[in-house]
Structure 1
């Protein structure tokens, strides 16, 4: 049933979905190729719940620009619904409303939502934290909702473990012993500005009635929260209220919230959108075969006008209805540049919207087939992308610790110091146009060494070293871990890392735990307490970065790239220059060698901020002039001594 996509009308209204009011609800569906549409209503989200029954069906009438519409009187809040469609050739389909704002258990029926009644206490007063609005203070900590609190030692109330509400418990400590902070209590002290949540919209492969585990890159319903993270998956308003409560709690703790969005594909090729407008929503080859750029066989065709509208509408809904502070786009190169720029423009038009972050993976999972004229939003497209759309920099990632597709491949910190050539450009966020990238500014580069995909940083360092003793904290590997962190946090750009990198998180050598088990994925809060010195090192680096914002390259669009110093061997040295007339205040050295190295210092006196083992914003140690010995496998940061 492929349709001529160019002939389909484009709906320009902003009222798709179930628009609720106390006295009536209006249902609007874009289905231009349907011959008839019927609204079917239910008292419950599934047929197995008490009181389940079907209500009278309601026919929709054909309306403007390919839409169908019906207004139903009365207070419909809490009613569940689907659409039945019939096409001219006699084919039929049943689908959940793609614009549904709530749903029943497992997402098989949409729900009419009274949004105001699904607000947590003081939701109207919720605001984006000040740190989230300061580019030079930004850093991102990525975590899965269930991983965050599932550990039995987390100190979280048992009924909240693995749920949205775990983020709302403020005083949790390890085994409730009152000493070692966990969860939100831990995050408040860590010093990051944003928490990036792996997908929180409704996904397909976890049975919400019985539980299970998945990372969530299997989208089912894009505009409503996942029910397995709610204390009650059956009543659609509960997941909405509890997801909002999580966001509000993170905001209260001074943390922005970034949402990992997977608009590049749906889990099922037979998805709601394709059932409603067959042949339109998924990208196809000229012969009609589905493209497979996502590895899932069902790529969304973002270049189609109504798909683009859907993505824009969905992002704006999450930003406004859930106060989301940023969006991370999975496989962003499967989207076209025009769509990404349209999303950025729509966010910018919101009050305070220019402070909402937006970045993504500038690659695909396989070949796709965009229609003529569409430009993939990949690294090569940085000059065409809005300057405030960022990309993950896999060049820096692989250079620092070794490639992700070869477990034993070393990087700059662990046996291949020659890889440091790339780091010469990374410290300035590749603004010299190297590595196939031409960013407009430093803020377009997301610097990282670990994320949910592939090995944890600790497991990668173990793999390169040929060791499988994941719970033994080798001194040389801890030095490599610290060096990885210090490089990322002294390069210009936005620093990002996987939750637990700062306490040597391990998944015992498993690089792909997307289906669990939860026991392997859950953050080990006992390990976090045990590795307090490593956690403090990350805290200190973040404090240095906030105190000396010239490290970030984000204080001013005109801020120059760092001044590279002439240093011997594989060492790297640079001075983060300032955009104003003030004198330079810092010098940074990377020493990947396994032996200490002597370095000639710039003129004047210097005191230490980071010596490779300790990091803090207040200078410590003696004043150094002339020469200094750099410890093996270390990053050293020095601050100029003020002269009267």
Structure 2
């Protein structure tokens, strides 16, 4: 099916695709304009291997304008179903509803859902927390990694599950002293938790708890929670209820929840979408092969009208049904600009929707085939993108600690001081356009030094230093880690941290653990309280507190750049707008003297300590910087 043929298919603008439950009936609607017949197959269970499994009958659907419809009387909550489609070439296909709200085990049958029966206690009172833009700091974690550690203090049945986020007062080995999990997050100072994919993905067998592990970038059912994180993957309402309970617990702690979404491809080339309208949903090369810009060989064609509608509908559904506070788009450049802008505009129509975060990776994993003049949502498209669509800045990441694809490549903090020129540009969130991309606002720029992909920050620092003892708290690596954090949390933009970065998370040199094992990926809560790593955590917490206390660091409220201080060599110094602070970076391995702006100054951050309470002596005129350090000074009023 080519672009012209795809655009000639009837468009459906309604908001009632899928199974719309009502107490007295459920109406099923499926967009499948090329099918010649569709039947609904009903089942008592999500698989044939469960007690009470039975086929409950088959019913023909009727078509109107490309949409097939059937209404079943009575309360259908808990009934499972599939669509059986026939096509003019004689082939048939069974498909889970593309708009499935929940499913049975392993996502093979859709379940009719009454959302009221999938609400945890108090859900009607859940509200998204109000978080000022300038205080935003995102902490990324995989649901299983968060609480799977046996030392986490989370009840065994909830470890690695949605419910692992819900206990409020967990401590290390239940010692009552050292906070873990949600109890830890409340003290760290981040504003949002970004969850790696939580929609239903294909590579973990939900019927075998604990056997499989995957990061989840292999989508199966886009509007259904992943069942392996639920305590019961067989009854579709459980995963919905427990995911909502997790969101509510994070909200009670004052934290926003960001969902990592993978709308760039389907895991299977023979996906449910492809089965409903063959040839429509995926991009193809001129010879008919699915394109491979995702690295998975089945890119979604976001520029096609009903694909764009599907993505907009899906994001709105997650935002409304689960009260989510943001969306992170995997390989966002595989989505087109118009689709991303349409998603932003749709979110803005929700109550307080303009505060919902929206950002993504402005790159692809390979070549694709955009149709109809569509433009990819990459860094080059920033002039066309909404200024409230953000992007991960790989330039910041690599100039601070070295290129992620070269283990030995150093950055500003760990052996390549000339990278400081780019650090200086990063300090102003790359505004100005000298580098081929031009953010409209500082907070569009996601500033980070580590994420789930590639090495953890600690492992990267160790690789550059040619170390293999990842558990040793080497003083030079700790200094580099503190400096990397200090830069990331004092430059303009939206800071982003990989979970555990703040206690030197290690995967023992493995840069790609997407298939596990869990033992390598989980957060090691004992490591968090190793004295030297605990001190590192406190340093991060102090920097996060500093950022909240001095919102000018984010650059959110001004388009004016910081005042750059003239310093020798590779030293960097600047005064953020307002003049209250002076920030210095010293990548050298020796102490360095720098000039201070006029006035009397005291220290908020040095090479060992970070916070909001000034400490140490008063300084005028000059200051000595520790090696490999970030220093932040606050101007004091004359007494």
Alpha-carbon shift at residue 436 of structure 1 (Å) = 1.7
The SS at the match of 2:297 is coil
Q: Is residue 144 from structure 1 mapped to residue 142 from structure 2 by the alignment?
A: yes
Aligned runs of 1:86-97 on 2, under 5 Å? 86-97=86-97
Q: Residue 168 of structure 1 is aligned with which of 166, 169, 181?
A: 166
The residue number in structure 2 matching 1:622 is: 617
Residue in 1 aligned with 2:550? 548
Contact 1:101–1:110 under 8 Å retained in 2: yes
**Equivalent residue runs for 1:436-455 within 5 Å:** 436-455=436-455
Unaligned runs of 5+ in 2: none
| Aligned residue number for residue 581 of structure 1 | none
- In 2, the alpha carbon distance for the partners of 1:643 and 1:329 equals 49
Instruction: Please give the alpha-carbon distance, in whole angstroms, between the structure 2 residues aligned to 1:217 and 1:56.
Output: 35
User: Structure 1 residue 423: deviation in Å?
Assistant: 1.1
Pairing of 1:131-530 with structure 2 (within 5 A): 131=131, 134-211=132-209, 212-530=212-530
Contact 1:9 1:32 (C-alpha < 8 Å) held by counterparts = yes
- Work out the CA distance in 2 between the residues paired with 1:435 and 1:449: 19
CA distance in 2, matches of 1:372, 1:129: 40
Q: Deviations over 1:564-593 (max 9, x none)?
A: 110000000000013xxxxx1100000000
Paired residues of 1:559 and 1:577 also in contact (CA < 8 A): no
Match for residue 42 of structure 1? Answer: 43
CA–CA distance in structure 1, aligned partners of residues 74 and 548 of structure 2: 54
Q: Secondary structure at the match of 1:443?
A: helix
Residue 636 (structure 1) aligned with residue 638 (structure 2): no
Paired residue secondary structure (2:81): strand
Tell me, yes or no, if the aligned pair for 2:441 and 2:559 is still in contact at 8 Å: no
Match of 1:104 in 2: 104
**Secondary structure of residue in 2 paired with 1:130:** coil
Deviations, residues 471-524 of structure 1 (Å, cap 9, x unaligned): 001101000000000100011000001000000000000000000000000000
Residue 15 of structure 2 is matched in structure 1 by 14
Other-structure match for 1:611: 606
- Residue in 1 aligned with 2:538? 536
Is residue 502–residue 537 contact of structure 2 (8 Å, CA) maintained in 1? yes
Runs of 5+ unmatched residues, structure 1: 579-583
Query: Match of 2:320, SS?
Result: helix
- Aligned-residue offset at 1:167: 0.3
Counterpart contact for 1:327–1:359, Cα < 8 Å: yes
Counterpart-to-counterpart distance in 2, 1:229 and 1:70: 32
User: What is the TM-score when the length of structure 2 is the normalising length?
Assistant: 0.98
Partners of 2:193 and 2:477 in 1: how far apart?
26
Aligned residues: 634
Deviant stretches of 4+, over 3 Å:
none
Q: Distance in 1 between matches of 2:352 and 2:638?
A: 41
8 Å contact from structure 1 (residues 425, 434) kept in 2: no
Whole-angstrom CA distance in 2 between matches of 1:529 and 1:473 = 12
CA distance, structure 1, for counterparts of residue 387 and residue 302 of structure 2: 20
CA distance in structure 2 between the aligned counterparts of 1:47 and 1:348, rounded to whole angstroms: 43
Q: CA deviation at 1:435?
A: 2.3
Q: How far apart are the structure 1 equivalents of 2:258 and 2:284?
A: 31
Deviation at 1:559, TM superposition (A): 4.0
Q: Deviations over 1:240-288 (max 9, x none)?
A: 0000000000000010000000000010000000000000000011221
Q: Contact 1:41 / 1:54 at 8 angstroms: preserved in 2?
A: yes
In structure 2, C-alpha distance between the alignment counterparts of 1:314 and 1:520, rounded to whole Å: 32
Shift of 1:130: 2.4
- Native 8 Å contact 2:293 2:365 kept in 1: yes
Quote the Cα distance in structure 2 between the aligned partners of 1:486 and 1:177: 31
Q: What CA deviation, in whole Å up to 9, does each residue of 1:302-323 have, x standing for no partner?
A: 0000000000000000000000
Residue 2 of structure 1: how far off its partner (Å) = 6.9
CA contact (8 A) 1:2 1:278 kept: no
Secondary structure, aligned partner of 1:165: helix
User: 1:635 aligns to what SS in structure 2?
Assistant: strand
Three-state SS of the structure 2 residue aligned to 1:620 is strand
Q: Which secondary structure does the structure 1 equivalent of 2:338 belong to?
A: helix
Q: After alignment, is 24-33 or 367-376 more displaced?
A: 367-376
Task: Say if 2:247 and 2:322, in contact at 8 Å, map to a contact too.
Answer: yes
Structure 1 window deviating more from structure 2 (341-350 vs 419-428): it is 419-428
Q: Equivalents in 1 of 2:289, 2:224: separation in Å? A: 30
CA deviation after TM superposition for structure 1 residue 355, in Å = 0.3
Structure 2: distance between partners of 1:86 and 1:326: 39
Residue 231 of structure 2 contacts residue 238 of structure 2 at CA under 8 Å; is this kept in 1?
yes
Q: CA offset at residue 600 of structure 1?
A: 1.1
* Cα separation, 2, equivalents of 1:559 and 1:551: 12
Any idea what the Cα deviations from partners look like across 1:69-113, whole Å, max 9, x if unmatched? Answer: 011001000000010000111110000000000100000000000
For 1:370 and 1:238, the matched residues in 2 are separated by 39
Pairwise CA distance, 1:608:
0.3
Partner of 1:588: 583
2:48 aligned with 1:53, yes or no? Answer: no
CA contact (8 A) 1:43 1:51 kept: yes
- How far apart are residue 434 of structure 1 and its match? 2.6
Across the aligned residues of Structure 1 and Structure 2, the Cα RMSD in angstroms comes to: 0.8
Structure 2 CA distance, aligned partners of 1:450 and 1:74? 52
Q: Is the 8 A contact 2:7 2:305 kept in 1?
A: no
Is the Cα–Cα contact under 8 Å of residues 395 and 435 in structure 1 kept in the other structure? no
The superposition leaves residues 215-253 of structure 1 with CA deviations (integer Å, 9 ceiling, x where unpaired) of 000000000100000000000000000000000000000
**CA distance in structure 1 between the partners assigned to 2:47 and 2:2 by the alignment:** 32
For residues 371-404 of structure 1, give each alpha carbon's deviation from its aligned partner in whole angstroms, at most 9, with x where no partner exists: 1310000000011000000000000000000000
How far has the Cα of 1:177 moved from its partner? 0.4
SS at match of 1:103: coil
